[in-house]
Amino acid sequence: MSPVHKRILLKVSGEALAGDNSFGIEPPFLQAVAKQIADVARSGVQVAIVVGGGNIFRGMAGAADGTDRVTADLMGMLGTMINALALSNAIMRQGVMSKPFSAATMPSVADTFTARDAKLALEEGFVVVLGGGTGNPFFTTDTAATLRAIELECDVVLKGTKVDGVYSADPKKDPTATRYDAIGYDEVIQQNLKVMDTAAFALARDNAMPIVVYALDDEAGLSGVLEGRGRSTRVGH
């Protein structure tokens, strides 16, 4: 079967790598995420990944404790780089070629991200793992994911979360909440639903980049979600 998508951008949050802990990288969870990604890459889909860093350091938390926000965000971005190196290596251990890129210049650690080099790597069959967020403070890795998806001409942003899509209300608090299979950008705004932070969402809407929200623990796995077997919500026009 030919893949539904040619090129996807997958956002992997820091918490997906921390597993049951809230801090650090848990090897079994790292391997599980890497395996799902490797399976998709082997099916012929080009995969770019933006990794978060919430399992290591969040700028907002650092700023709340007194560190100046720009420094705290730099620390957060370095945290995402640790995750990027770990994930890229774990994907290689699954037998799929992978290359980490960094938004900030650190030549002995990873190639500096340029859209041109990342696209070339994707076309050569590498899973590219993009660390360092956007490279700027005051942004999130959700914004980085949307930005890179647009730059790399991906078909879609996949956002794995703890819930299996976008609901009419918080399903943990409201038992009558229903899940959307698909929803428009404007409906998300009108109904004040939470998909991504405002900057990330505005970038996606303005560039008509679809966002698919799915549960990280969906039984169908990432490849199943991509093939329409899993549960998810597609946000787009």
| Size of site (CB under 6 A) for ligand UDP | 23
Q: Are the CB atoms for 55 and 18 separated by under 8 Å?
A: yes
The residue from 80, 98, 146, 223 that contacts ligand UDP (CB under 6 A) is 80
The residue from 140, 146, 232, 233 that contacts ligand UDP (CB under 6 A) is 140
| Closest distance of CB 122 from ligand UDP, Å | 21
- The string of DSSP letters for 36-82 reads HHHHHHHTT-EEEEEE--TTT--HHHHHHTTS-HHHHHHHHHHHHHH
Of 191 and 207, nearer to ligand UDP (C-beta) is: 207
Rule CB under 6 A: say whether 14 interacts with ligand UDP. yes
CA distances from 52 to 7, 75, 150, 220 (A): 20, 12, 18, 23
| Closest distance of CB 202 from ligand UDP, Å | 15
Of 4 and 60, nearer to ligand UDP (C-beta) is: 60
Rule CB under 6 A: say whether 233 interacts with ligand UDP. no
Task: Count CA atoms closer than 13 A to 68's CA, side-chain side.
Answer: 2
Rule CB under 6 A: say whether 144 interacts with ligand UDP. yes
Rule CB under 6 A: say whether 100 interacts with ligand UDP. no
Question: Which range, of 31-39, 71-79, 118-126, 209-217, touches ligand UDP by CB under 6 A?
Answer: 71-79
Task: Count CA atoms closer than 13 A to 82's CA, side-chain side.
Answer: 17
CA pair distance 155, 26, nearest whole angstrom: 30
Q: Are the CB atoms for 66 and 25 separated by under 8 Å?
A: no
Q: Are the CB atoms for 112 and 105 separated by under 8 Å?
A: yes
Question: Which range, of 40-48, 114-122, 130-138, 208-216, touches ligand UDP by CB under 6 A?
Answer: 130-138
The residue from 45, 47, 48, 77 that contacts ligand UDP (CB under 6 A) is 77
CA pair distance 209, 11, nearest whole angstrom: 14
List residues near ligand UDP by CB under 6 A: 13-15, 52-54, 58-60, 73, 76-77, 79-80, 133-134, 136-137, 139-141, 143-144
